[in-house]
Amino acid sequence: MVPKQNIELQKEYSVSKITGRWGIRRRIRKLGINSETKLSFTKKSKLAYYKFHFTNCKRKRRLPANYLKFIKFVESDNPQLQAILFEDHSNISIDVFSNEETLDTNIFENKTEYKFNEYNFSINYLPKVSSIYGEDYQRKKLRNKVLTDFPDVFLGIVDFENLEADLNLVTQFIDMDAKIVLALRNYNPEGGSYYADFELLSKLLGVPIINYSEIEEGNSVREKILETLIKTHQNTEPYVRHIHINYGRQVEQSISKLKKFLKRRSKADYVASPRYLAIGLLEKDSLVHKLFDGLPCHKRVKRKADKQIKRLEKLYDDHIFNIIKKSRKAYVNGAITEITAGKKPETKSKKIDKILTHKYFGIPIFIAFMGLTFFATFELGKYPMEWLENGVDYLAKYLSKVMAPGFFKDLVLDGAIDGVGGVLVFLPNIFILFFFIGILENTGYMSRAAFLMDKYMHRIGLHGKSFIPMIMGFGCTVPAIMSTRILENKRDRILTMMILPFMSCSAKLPVYILMISAFFPENPVLILFGIYMFGIILALIISSFFSKTILKQREAPFVMELLPYRKPTTKLLLTYTWDRGKEYLKKIGGVILIGSIIIWLLGYFPKNIDYSKDYQALISAETKLEEPNIEKIHELEFQKRSEEHEKSYIGKIGHFIKPVMKPLGFDWKMSVSILAGIAGKEITVSTMGVLYQADDDLETGSLQNKLKAETYAFGEKAGEKVYNPAVALAFILFILIYFPCIATISAIWKESKLKWAIFSGIYTTSIAWLVSFAAYQIAKHFI
């Protein structure tokens, strides 16, 4: 649309540019108005029309006042007239669209401004989507942009390997009354396994299609595409014609009824075509409904649309979303069958899918891949983990020798190194995990996993698409929360967000490996795999419960899209792994280091405590004996350090929350570690590294060994081991389930509402306590 113009009557104007959707441009041109046409306005009627006549022609014509926003006028006596006309004639705006899995092209050399001959192209790259419809932010933004700022021509990038899905997207732009040119990639008419008649497809769709490949994308192919864009803009391209996508007799009947009603409505602004509005009303598009807000006919429009939706759903016994999408798919499949003479292409992706999405083999293959991921994470990661452990231990011993005794030495060794070092050793495991998640995401197998789980996800009130954020949650819950935007339904997004904290993110992995290495060394991979699977199963159970209670709502079905497989380069996978792994490194150097020092300081002070006995006198008396009892001296030193810890600030905090955690088998140090983990689950391990120092003679080695050696110093359990397999299992399950980290709570708040963020923290912690209590009470009798 052009900026608002003040039209003066009886003054001659030259038409500089015509904008807007294709239908509006056609109607304006049918009135005889074209670029450089000269005309004068004679009268403005009360019925929102302008009367005008062309220069040298006195016959009066009528132009709707709302059309003025699509026509740029320049006063004919303007001295800059020719320069303005030439500039507007030579400037062409292009919006480039493509499917989310289609690779970027180099047609415009990645520029937003491109000059070709006398023409200047202004290029805007639209967000990559598989469908323009949906209530997520990206799709709503795309539709709003297109409706409010229609370009001169759309350029669609179509991949032959993903022809069906890409043409489905093209049909949606055709519905929006767009002028389109298609660039076809990955099609070799001579060396391919079969022939497709894309010239026929051009005629069927009314859209020029230019074949190109990345290899051939030189100047000649680029020039051909640019020339086609120019011809399409100037209406000289022979293949360009306006068509309607046929949705089938019954759906077309509903579209027709809504169209007729909309054409009669008052205050029409013509921004969107009545046909597009009718389809949008049937699809319950919130942006289309918003166009009618404030108009007298708003309620009537909604009633008319609801009536047609009910008619179609009753007729097809299906949800309206499915009805429309299946109709589009049928149209696209018909077109593909037409151009391939009935030989529907079997792409490489479809051949692979015969195996990976097989009815019986698909899920076992997926489980095997996840098993391989955990095997590699644990078994391959233990070698560099051991190297890092030795490196941290060597650094601690070296600094212990060269640093003078005192507060600063204790801070560096017991606070920084034991805290950060305890987490740093798990870095190789984190990188390996992200590498395998990168394979899932960048090959296209992620969408297959969602497809495989779709049937089972429906049973718990979710779609297969929700499985994608769940898998992403294995890396980090925050981007997984953000990725729920791909879900079209608000209720589905909230339900998925509520169960994502049960996914074992990379921050929880160090806790798992620490406990499994120490207390389940016989079957580490099986235990790790079981923990991840338990999180998924628990999430599915909770989802099923919520979908029948607090988030009960009728499902809004959709068609699952299987995007083509991609072969990720080694560089891409390594870059993906490093980009996500370095976030873990940043946490080690930032929040984990600061958290470790704070925990250590809280455990170091106060120094003036009242001991339960005079340890110094008892130790001194024991050492003066002719044959000192070394074991008793060690025990006294251990009790003294333990009492210092228990009466420190951190000990007081731990003892305050200990009554709540005692039924789970946790001591006060474990309770503090859990509390610290609210800031970030990685801090749990660093906190344990700082707290479990009471009997550290620098010979016990790694944190795993310290945990196995930890004993109660006082009370009824004095001398007993703090940790055993039952306690370790309960601790792992609590870490898996309880309060999401602060960043996750913030993401839930941002993507939904504060009440859901608060609810998430309360209910997950409650379930964590119950599950851990049951696990501990049962496991202590068996393991």
* pLDDT greater than 60 at residue 268: no
Helical (H) or strand (E) element with 57:
none
Residue-wise pLDDT for 14-34, tens only, equals: 888 888 887 888 888 888 888
User: What residues contact 481, with CB distance under 8 A and at least 6 apart?
Assistant: 469, 497, 500, 744, 747, 748, 751
pLDDT value for 213: 64
- When pLDDT is cut at 50, 70 and 90, the band that residue 104 belongs to is low
As a whole number of angstroms, the distance between CA 411 and CA 160 comes to 62
Question: Please, is 432 exposed, middle or buried when counting C-beta atoms within 10 Å of its C-beta (0-12, 13-18, 19+)?
Answer: buried
Q: What mean pLDDT is predicted for residues 418-426?
A: 77
Q: Are 656 and 697 in contact (CB under 8 A)?
A: no
SS3 63: strand
Report for 302-311, 547-556, 744-753: range of highest mean pLDDT: 302-311
E-strand ranges in 3-59 read 12-18, 38-44, 49-54
pLDDT value for 701: 47
pLDDT value for 695: 45
Residue 282 — φ and ψ, nearest 5°? -65, -35
**Structure tokens belonging to residue 684:** 């749990």
pLDDT value for 563: 60
Q: Measured between alpha carbons, how far is residue 516 from residues 87, 777, 779 in Å? A: 71, 19, 15
The residues pairing with 61 across neighbouring beta strands, listed in sequence order, are: 52
- Per the prediction, the chain carries an average pLDDT of 82
pLDDT value for 1: 54
Helical (H) or strand (E) element with 210:
strand 209-211
As a whole number of angstroms, the distance between CA 534 and CA 504 comes to 10
Residue-wise pLDDT for 58-83, tens only, equals: 788 888 887 888 888 888 888 888 88
As a whole number of angstroms, the distance between CA 671 and CA 663 comes to 12
As a whole number of angstroms, the distance between CA 442 and CA 571 comes to 12
Angle between helices 754-779 and 742-751 in degrees, nearest 10: 140
* pLDDT greater than 50 at residue 47: yes
Q: Measured between alpha carbons, how far is residue 187 from residues 193, 226, 348, 644 in Å? A: 10, 20, 13, 74
pLDDT value for 154: 92
Buried b (16+ CB within 10 A) or exposed e, 83-114: ebbeebbeebbbbbbbbebbeebebbeeeeeb
* pLDDT greater than 80 at residue 350: no
Higher local confidence (pLDDT), 232 or 191: 232
SS3 780: coil
Q: In what order do the strands lie in the sheet with 153-159?
A: 113-116, 119-125, 91-98, 153-159, 180-185, 209-211
As a whole number of angstroms, the distance between CA 387 and CA 384 comes to 5
Helices (H), 589-702: 593-604, 615-623, 630-646, 649-661, 668-676, 682-691
Q: Are 461 and 543 in contact (CB under 8 A)?
A: yes
* pLDDT greater than 80 at residue 296: no
**Residue 430, number of CB atoms within 10 A of its CB:** 25
CA atoms within 13 A on the CB side of 231: 16
Report for 51-60, 309-318, 441-450, 600-609: range of highest mean pLDDT: 309-318
* pLDDT greater than 80 at residue 545: yes
Report for 77-91, 253-267, 413-427, 761-775: range of highest mean pLDDT: 761-775
Q: Are 14 and 73 in contact (CB under 8 A)?
A: yes
Q: Measured between alpha carbons, how far is residue 722 from residues 586, 649, 653, 670, 728 in Å? A: 32, 21, 19, 10, 10
User: What residues contact 671, with CB distance under 8 A and at least 6 apart?
Assistant: 654, 657, 658, 660, 661
Q: Are strands 153-159 and 180-185 parallel, antiparallel or unpaired?
A: parallel
As a whole number of angstroms, the distance between CA 246 and CA 252 comes to 7
pLDDT value for 266: 47
The residue type of 657 is I
720 DSSP 8-state letter: S
* pLDDT greater than 90 at residue 782: no
Helical (H) or strand (E) element with 258:
helix 249-264
As a whole number of angstroms, the distance between CA 504 and CA 528 comes to 10
pLDDT value for 346: 64
* pLDDT greater than 70 at residue 223: yes
Q: Measured between alpha carbons, how far is residue 579 from residues 431, 438, 479, 536, 679 in Å? A: 10, 11, 13, 26, 22
Q: Are 70 and 16 in contact (CB under 8 A)?
A: no
pTM of the model: 0.61
Residue-wise pLDDT for 158-205, tens only, equals: 988 888 889 999 999 998 888 899 998 888 776 555 678 888 888 888
What domains are defined for the chain? 12-78 (2.30.30.90), 87-233 (3.40.50.300), 249-344 (1.10.287.1770)
Q: What mean pLDDT is predicted for residues 639-656?
A: 80
User: What residues contact 365, with CB distance under 8 A and at least 6 apart?
Assistant: 355, 356, 358
Report for 41-45, 260-264, 398-402, 480-484: range of highest mean pLDDT: 398-402
The least confident of 97-106, 277-286, 313-322, 721-730 is 97-106
User: What residues contact 392, with CB distance under 8 A and at least 6 apart?
Assistant: 417, 421, 424, 425
Residue-wise pLDDT for 656-706, tens only, equals: 888 899 999 998 889 888 988 888 787 888 888 878 764 444 343 468 888
